[in-house]
Amino acid sequence: MKLVFATHNQNKVKEVQLLMPKNITLLSLNDIDCFDEIAETANTLKGNAQLKADFVTEKYGYNCFADDTGLLVDSLNGEPGVFSARYAGEEKSTEANMAKLLKNLETKDNRVARFKTCIALNIDAKKYKFEGEVEGIITKEKYGIDGFGYDPIFRPNGFDKTFAELPIEIKNKISHRGRAIQKLIKHLNLS
């Protein structure tokens, strides 16, 4: 089965490909010659995931899934949340996003945060939703060189390393995206 993952982010594609069963051929937006920047104008993670999945299904006709992920920090009232990718501006700079978050947390004792991923699946003219979440803390500085996004400053509960320090096999088992993808895979195997 061919399934499009509605993303241009090759780091996400690599992570998800490692989780997919061999009978699913995962295609990225680049693979289907979709180079559009799909607008994320919804005010929820679920809404943005659905916008991206619908865009690909309607314009290209593929079975497709899309995700949207947010980092929600308790002491910042859930910021950056739905704006996680563009927290420091529309240029979506990972370094600027992390710097802004660390600056906003400088005077905060509570550094509890959680990553949440929402996946929208459009398959055979039906729509499904899956979610995954992981709790942890925001560190005071960056650790590790792997991963992407906020990984160098997010330490999941029960671990002494950030996502950027953990091997991808471990990250995939415990991460928000990994948990949501596992639910997606379970659904695909049942349908």
pLDDT of residue 190: 65
pLDDT by residue for the chain (191 residues), tens only, comes to 899 999 998 888 988 998 999 999 999 999 999 999 898 999 999 999 999 999 999 999 999 999 999 999 999 999 999 999 999 998 889 999 999 999 999 999 999 999 999 999 999 999 999 999 999 999 999 999 998 999 999 999 999 999 999 999 999 999 999 999 999 999 998 65
- Establish whether 54 is a catalytic residue: no
Q: What local confidence, expressed as pLDDT, does residue 151 receive?
A: 97
Task: Output the pTM of the full model.
Answer: 0.92
The reported pLDDT for the residue numbered 95 is: 96
pLDDT of residue 161: 97
| Beta-bridge partner residues of 138 | 154
DSSP reduced 3-state for 126: strand
**Quick one: tokens of 164?**
């950027």
Tell me the C-alpha to C-alpha distance, in Å, between residue 130 and each of 34, 49, 65, 158, 170: 24, 10, 10, 24, 21
What is each CA distance from 86 to 33, 97, 101, 128, 183, in whole angstroms? 24, 7, 12, 26, 27
- On whether the 2-190 domain is CATH 3.90.950.10, my answer is yes
Rounded distance between C-alpha atoms, residue 80 and residue 5, angstroms:
24
Given 31, 36, 54, 68, which residue is catalytic? 68
User: Residue 11's pLDDT is what?
Assistant: 85
Instruction: Give the per-residue pLDDT at 154.
Output: 98
Task: Give the pLDDT of residue 147.
Answer: 85
Tell me, what's the pLDDT at 117? 97
CA distance 71 to 102: 13
